[in-house]
Structure 1
Amino acid sequence: ARCYRGGEHRTRLKELKLGKVDGIALTISIMFFGFIISTKYINYF
């Protein structure tokens, strides 16, 4: 941030990192949305 001045008694800026759980969640989300899209074009029910 432009006006951020770190120092004592201030909140530290912690950068986010991608982990293993993020990859698993992304994979499950893609599979879920793929299933929803496929049911729209192929009538299972």
Structure 2
Amino acid sequence: FLDYNKLPYKVVEVNPISKKEIKWSEYKKVPVVVLDGKQLNDSF
């Protein structure tokens, strides 16, 4: 979807054990999208 609509994004690899890359979030599952400062969880 993001590629198709030419929306810029950054992929972050998340360590499945430590999940240190998403420590800032209470939600610990991926995917996570942050759009305009609002966190969107899971798939729609």
From the two aligned structures, give the one with the greater strand fraction: 2
What's the TM-score, normalizing by structure 1?
0.19
Q: Relative contact order (alpha carbons < 8 A, sep ≥ 6): 1 or 2 greater? A: 2
Report the structure number with the largest CA radius of gyration.
Answer: 1
